[in-house]
Amino acid sequence: MTVAAAGTTAGTEHATAPHPTGDLAVRHLKVAVIGAGISGLGTAIGLLKAGIDDFLVFERATDLGGTWRDNTYPGCACDVQAHLYSYSFARNPDWKSTFATQAEVHAYLKDCATRHGVDPHLRYDHELLDATWNDTHHHWDIRTKHGRYTAQALITGTGYLSDPAIPNIPGLDTFTGTVFHSSRWNHDHDLTGRNVAVIGTGASAIQFVPAIQPDVNRLDLYQRTPPWVAAKPDKPNTPRHTWMLRHLPGYQRFRRTFNKHGREIVAFFMSRPSRTTGMKNMAAGHLKKSVTDPALRARLTPDYTVGCKRLLFSNTWYPAIQQPNVDIVSDTITHIGPTHITTTDGTTRHIDTIILATGFTATDRPVAHLIHGRNGHTLADTWNRDGMTAHRGTTIHGFPNLFMLLGPNTTLGHSSQTVMIEAQITYILAALKTLHTHHLTTLDVHPHAQTTYNNTLQNRLKNTVWNTGGCTSWYTDTKGNNPSIWPTYTWRFHHQTRTFDLTNYQTTTHTNHTPNP
């Protein structure tokens, strides 16, 4: 079996400007940021705007962009309007259509880093190996692939769609053909004339299957659960529209705000399964219009409430999977052999390529296994014991001066993650300002505040489509809890994070290393 690795092209920078501490060269930072995707870059820009330049952004790859660097599969594009998916402080008038492609988003992020002066703060090929809270000196001890650092504050921007989930299918490791995950696309492997198995029918498959279907000899699509798919209202931006975006004052801001508030209506529908009838009719109508065969349409109709799993958008999915060279397989895979896949009905299908469209480790964050808190336990251990929770989705008791972007219950099922990211950045910058102005060395959220916050969240989630829609999704963990979704409007999260709630935190000062209640 050969597995493709992610390919990147940017240069590597190892400079750390160290100063000696004991017998090792360690650079001390005010802030260390992990990850150079949308979260990390947005944080870096925010730090510079706040006058904080004593920070570095550690990126394990050799280029920035996060998920928009890694996901280069054919057809990759955003399913949120480009005006809303971009930063509010760096609007882009040059999007080519309503929904931006992967290449456009990646280029946009690189341009933002350069225009806002982030490039000198980026450290590529600096994979985080360990971050441990030092309760004696009140800082984070950080080890990366290329150096040791300390930092007063640690900010993680690693997201939840960064590490692919590889299914535990018997015999997968015995397959002698080519295997790769959709987020690690093997561009050196020509699919022309191949017999290809695609495992999974989620967001990535919806996009790349129509792109590769015309080239392959045969495509076996292994569908565990059919997704709800609606039409994608994607239109090219006309020269007139682009001119207005560039030159008409306030127009681009209006378009972004219009998209943002329009998406908020979806949160109302998803707050109760009974309110999703209109959305279901829209998706079911698209399916009926696209698939005329009643038997096939029945196989492609989900048995759960629309929105329970992520609602997908495509105009090419249904036409592609009805082509003569596509076989939709609903039977469970029992075994993978050197050249074939066998399902529960006893059928064996011979293939030479497997593409895993199996999502990401969204509720088991790899970075959580690398972060050790005040008691020496990892964040992963803490979450396994107490549940995956955080205060304001950002801070966790027992992990002082740690701020997690896109932490627990900040995932959106209805709008753009940039809205949540920017709200969290505002909250984190306010926390850093509080540390400075109050001469504090640590901020550690009260356990009671964290528990109260999360009890309120779970009560809001209890009757929503995400919890009661009758499906199993990547939003939930192995215990059936939902540590992912923000269950209501984004303006509520923005309201909660626009100022820093110091009264909910235990603190220490420069002169007193005993936590203040």
Q: How does strand 24-34 pair with strand 55-58?
A: parallel
**Domains by residue range for the chain, with CATH:** 27-163+362-509 (3.50.50.60), 178-241+268-356 (3.50.50.60)
Terminal Cα-to-Cα distance of the chain (whole angstroms): 56
Mean pLDDT, consecutive 10-residue stretches, the chain (517 aa), reads 36 36 71 98 98 98 97 96 95 95 98 98 98 97 96 96 92 97 98 98 97 98 96 94 91 92 91 93 97 96 94 97 97 97 97 96 93 96 95 98 97 95 98 97 98 96 94 87 94 97 94 59
Q: How does strand 178-181 pair with strand 353-356?
A: parallel
pLDDT digits (tens, 9 = 90+) for 5-55: 333 333 333 333 333 333 357 999 999 999 999 999 999 999 999 999 999
pLDDT at 511: 63
- CB 359: neighbour CB atoms within 10 A? 21
- 322, 213 contact by CB (below 8 A): no
- 197 alpha carbon, distance to own chain's centre: 25
pTM of the model: 0.92
Taking only Cα atoms into account, the Rg of the chain, rounded to an integer number of angstroms, comes to 24
pLDDT at 325: 98
Cα separation, 66 vs 83, in Å, equals 19
Cα separation, 53 vs 133, in Å, equals 22
Cα separation, 263 vs 415, in Å, equals 5
